[in-house]
Structure 1
């Protein structure tokens, strides 16, 4: 398996000369379409997205004694952002960006390529945008500053590159003030912490700083979200309300930023769409704004389902490996306690030294690794930041020698430039030793999994460990998950499932929540009887576990069928010819008509439905039903309060060509299945 990109379409050698002429003509027309907006004022420029729905205006304007850059955004002719500025405050207290002069005409370009990720929510990603590059000099600081703006069908992005004057070898930024000035007091879903609960508020009600992505509803047919992408060696961004400017948000960095030579910011991103589903379906924008894959051979990087081994014993570990092999899981993970107390600096992650508060053992880890390898199961180990920070260069080659496949970095420091740089460097170092990584706790993704796809997943989410409400789980899909994969740590047999959700809701979560490494049984063990300990439950052999065995963790195609943020969601994802559909509901009972028009026409599918039914005589109350369906049919999904439903669709047979109805026929080609 290799990670590569190819230019579309000129690099495809099989195209005929006529096709090449046609493509070049279209490109010329695209450039003409861009340039048509630059007539007149040389300091005002406009970009349109390839489909024409998103328009980005950029200009240099005089405000009293200042010369500022301002940008604004419209979507389908409606104003999304009013004139917003981009400025930087140095450590010395001066401002970069208030006395700008342009250098020459701004270069304009169009880009259209496709690339294939090692894994993802779709198997092919198109990177299609129009770009404006504005080169300026800031007279007050003598810095050169280059602004890059891109306009995509899914939104806009910008970043700045600051070059210090010739007599200075470095630059030190105390704060960045990139503004997002909205037109009204919109509804937003916000949280102040990476693992916090989201609250529905108005822009005017935001206090302090809030996390990104920040999603908002501008109208019934316009949704937007603010994100960042391409962050490697820079401070992470939060958002706060700008004092004195109504409905205006501004970046708030989690530390100052230093650079020798030029300083380049991450991409600031504003996604727009006509529905919440538009945002989620287009979240590849974060990946498109990150650097291409830097790993030449990615064949060792393998997504999969993970079973957490909670007993830290050889007996429990072998039972987990056997369960994983039987139920089509790919990994078993040893969590905190296998090398001592994770919170003690003296704990040594080069040894297997059990924390007695977590397990009395015994644990023969080398034997378990060998036992697992013989059965095609990989072993993942957890390491707390205390050991990572002092032993990283020692443990990574050691774990590769042991045969470990991946490491979960726990409680890592994050946010500041120092720690964001350290963490991304730790991912790169892991790749040198063929180790995959899951970053837990506060880290939120910024697209680095494209550059280093051994970064499989990360937390930065209020997952099932925190028992979020059903509403929160649905809000998370259209906020946090816009940034990338989320390790939601799905629970299944733990008592909190029946207290907070249903088992149908949990089955659906495996489809709706994207994570290339997906934990399905966070507090559960295949040991019987279960060992003592808090949150330990036994995995019960209920019939619907076949769904977890079948469902993949990465996808060829993703569709959001229907959704309302915090209310309900229906997502369909394809792997090969099979489709998996997840439906999740909040506390209001409802019926949803799900059309199967995403299925391939001419094929009949077996739809295996897993739904909540209190009358079923199993601990999980899941009824399993089979139907034969086609692309012109629909399913009447009836969701309980806090409930859910999962469907596995696999081709059953190819249909004979249908007889065309007579013109006077009143029959409908659509039938409805009820469950």
Structure 2
């Protein structure tokens, strides 16, 4: 009887402490309560419909009791927050950050450990994080697992990639949630290092659509001193549980109170445009910590890069290891090295002639001969050029042409080696006036046993951004963990790859036409992506008749990607001579802006199509990008975003009537019409195609 009365009393107290918090508009509601076992739980509703059913929360500790049951509520605190802030670079000049917050202060009855759960409810969705205050009963601790649940209510259509601890460079699978199975995907996909963790472990951000038409996205924000969160899917019961990436000995995170976890986010809307246009991930990160941001500028660049992917030249100077280890100990050139002084000058000339900002050179430094696949630690020193690349001569030539050089640091995933050399490498960049660096992490991570997505590597990627800021340098990371909004805090972290980029089209089964229609709903929610668009010679048989690989888009879709795939760092990735063959189409790449006053998503459906229009900062110019999957599409766009009373010249780059990504990808036409805010334009997109439009005010 005593136990029964105690249980009733607990339930009554729990009902008393049940808390409801709504978004500013009231559209989204979050209910929090403790279960009868004292476990934190939450429910999310959208327009009064349950979207996330009761889901429990908690943290498991190594060598300590788990922080997931036996909690009591010490305090509940509600507050509201509303601000506007200006990103240094971005899709819009001003971002609104408006939410209602609930802080639940908990203490565990047996251990007396205190843990807070902070909820924020936006009009786009909800976010929560774990907060460990300073306390005598918890100082240093090790997280062995996080058991945050996201329990769905329906068998959603789901866009997923496998939970690979080392790579996000996968083609998205579009299946029902119940059909998720990483063992059924094609692993002959060009990815060099794979660490897939389970049959139904998948990555976030996870984009979904319910049978009733609700769009749902599960992600995370502000991953700092913590591993990346993947998700374990219970495909029979439509449940998801957080899956943290381990370190070399199986631990997940080493922490010291006071500290916080990253935010776990659930976005939702019945309009897909709300998801793709959301700034919730950025808003959940800390404000900019850089005092002087004057050096952080958008860059449009070309580079010695694509020619290696298509086999015209090589990154290495001497070819095989045997060539390097000749009798006299000298490097013996193969004659195919791309990063020569003379070739670099050719790219500088092209950049200067066409109004570009910079030139990237890959393969300029010694070490490329024998490292790939060998798990070798001391490969690059990041300061010693090959004999045919003269740093002084290149600097002088670039300066005379008013072109900035972009440094390339391939780390060979030897992270400790890179950190040992980092300051000397950045000193060299400052000496030779390189404002930005592209880093790479190809291969298995050294220290051995670590993963690209583990706490160690997250800390490394963030450290490099912070150290670059000390030198007033911009960073563009490749093969890194995917961004979670850290570019708000360190906007010199100007871009990253962290997804399957355009390069895979050159030497693998490539990226299907729907790929670029999914990335804005997934990878790009966390920050700008260096996708390297702008390929005009679509078929690789152009370089070698025996090749069957190709880019899975039309030429015009490559133009549209400069608008749909946001980045303030954009590469015109093809060879200069290929652009010179199509100067009228190349004009759009020359004209398109990189930093935006405003962005409006006009049409959106993940996996199918996307149309966005953006206004250049401090300008009346607008640019439109529209893309589709493998299906041809037609739509009509109202131009009511244009300033009323002004006339504009619309230069329309569109697929020709017989264009097709596979059969006839380079067919396009260009037309010019006069328009106003009252006008409409019909879009005709070929299979795998797109449309790009520039709107110039008529004076």
TM-score class, shorter: 0.7 to 0.9
Q: CA deviation at 1:268?
A: 0.5
Q: Which residue, out of 204, 229, 242, partners 2:178? A: 204
Query: Which of 233, 239, 256 pairs up with 1:248?
Result: 239
Query: Does residue 518 of the first structure (1) align with residue 488 of the second (2)?
Result: no
Structure 2 matches for 1:60-139, cutoff 5 A?
A: 60-62=34-36, 66-92=37-63, 94-104=65-75, 106-139=76-109
Deviation sequence 1:254-291 (CA, Å, 0-9, x none): 02111123341000111112222111111x11111001
Task: Indicate if the aligned counterparts of 1:235 and 1:417 stay in contact, CA closer than 8 A.
Answer: yes
Aligned equivalent of 1:15 = none
Cα deviation for residue 588 of structure 1 reads 1.7
Match of residue 627 from structure 1: 673
Aligned partner (choices 346, 351, 362) of residue 388 of structure 2: 362
Partner of 1:26: none
Q: Distance in 1 between matches of 2:649 and 2:565?
A: 24
Distance 1:336 1:293 in 2: 33
Task: Go from structure 1 to structure 2 and tell me whether the alpha carbon gap of 1:598 and 1:167 turns closer, same or farther (over 3 Å shift).
Answer: closer
Q: Structure 1 residues 559 and 628 mapped into 2: Cα distance closer, same or farther (>3 Å)?
A: same
Q: Counterparts of 1:639 and 1:615 in 2: how far apart (Å)?
A: 11
State yes or no: 1:390 paired with 2:420.
Answer: yes
Q: Hey, what's the Cα distance between the residues in 1 that align with 2:454 and 2:363?
A: 25
**CA positional deviation for 1:197:** 0.9
SS of residue in 2 equivalent to 1:448? coil
Taking the aligned partners of 2:592 and 2:292, their CA distance within structure 1 comes to 26
**How far off its partner does 1:86 sit?**
0.8
1:494 maps to what in 2?
537
- Residues 175, 253 of structure 1: 8 Å contact kept: yes
Post-superposition shift, 1:619?
A: 9.8
Question: What is the CA-CA distance between 1:75 and the residue it aligns to?
Answer: 1.2
Question: CA 1:247–1:538 in structure 2 vs 1: closer, same or farther (change >3 Å)?
Answer: same
Distance 1:480 1:615 in 2: 32
1:77, 1:520 → 2: CA distance? 47
Q: Determine the structure 2 residue equivalent to 1:276.
A: 272
Any conservation in 1 of the 2:286–2:489 contact (CA below 8 Å)? yes
Post-superposition offset of 1:88:
1.1
> Are positions 1:509 and 2:561 aligned together?
yes
Shift of 1:135: 0.5
Q: Secondary structure at the match of 2:698?
A: strand
Q: Which of the residues 576, 594, 606 maps onto 2:649?
A: 606
- Of stretches 487-496 and 285-294 in structure 1, the one that deviates more from structure 2 is 487-496
From 341, 352, 357, the counterpart of 2:368: 341
Greater Cα shift, 259-268 or 500-509 = 259-268
Residue aligning to 1:13: none
Secondary structure of the 1:477 match is: helix
Q: Which residue of 2 aligns with 1:36?
A: none
2:209 aligned residue: 217
Mapping for residues 3-42 of structure 1, pairs under 5 Å: 41-42=15-16
C-alpha RMSD over aligned residues: 2.3
The answer on 1:564 being equivalent to 2:605 is yes
1:636 aligns with 2:682: yes
Instruction: Measure the CA separation in 1 of the matches of 2:652 and 2:684.
Output: 12
1:130: Cα distance to partner?
A: 0.5
CA contact (8 A) 1:121 1:557 kept: yes
Distance 2:471 2:434 in 1: 10
**Stretch moving more, 144-153 or 593-602:** 593-602
The 8 Å contact of residues 631 and 687 in structure 2, kept in 1 or not, is answered as yes
Shift of 1:168: 4.8
Tell me the alpha carbon deviations over residues 531-554 of structure 1, each in whole angstroms, 9 at most, x when there is no partner: xxxxxx675352121110110122
Partners of 1:218 and 1:333 in 2: how far apart? 43
8 Å CA contact 2:383–2:425 kept in 1: the answer is no
Aligned partner of 1:57 among 31, 45, 67: 31
Aligned counterparts of 1:337 and 1:401: Cα–Cα separation in 2? 16
User: Measured at CA, do residues 113 and 499 of structure 1 come closer, stay the same or move farther in structure 2, by a change above 3 Å?
Assistant: closer
**Counterpart in 1 of 2:468?**
430
SS in 1 for 2:147: strand
3-state SS, counterpart of residue 136 of structure 2: coil
Are the counterparts in 1 of residues 14 and 35 from structure 2 also a CA contact under 8 Å? Answer: no
Indicate if the aligned counterparts of 1:508 and 1:645 stay in contact, CA closer than 8 A: yes
Q: Whole-Å Cα distance in 2 between the matches of residues 221 and 167 of structure 1?
A: 47
Question: After the TM superposition, which residues 308-457 of structure 1 pair with which residues of structure 2 at under 5 Å, given as runs?
Answer: 308-310=303-305, 311-341=338-368, 343=371, 345-354=377-386, 362-385=388-411, 386=414, 387-411=417-441, 413=445, 414-457=452-495
Query: Is 1:650–2:696 an aligned residue pair?
Result: yes
Shift of 1:494: 3.4
Q: Please identify which structure carries the higher strand content.
A: 1
2:448 alignment counterpart: none
Distance 2:355 2:131 in 1: 47
What secondary structure does 2:57 align onto?
A: strand
Question: 1:27 matched to which residue of 2?
Answer: none
CA distance in 2 between partners of 1:390 and 1:208 (Å): 38
Q: CA deviation at 1:650?
A: 1.5
TM-score (norm 1): 0.84
TM-score (norm 2): 0.81
Q: Which of structure 1's runs of 4+ aligned residues deviate more than 4 A?
A: none
| Alpha-carbon distance in 1 for matches of 2:396, 2:339 | 16
CA contact (8 A) 1:117 1:124 kept: yes
* Paired residues, number: 591
How far apart, in 2, do the equivalents of 1:597 and 1:567 lie?
A: 24
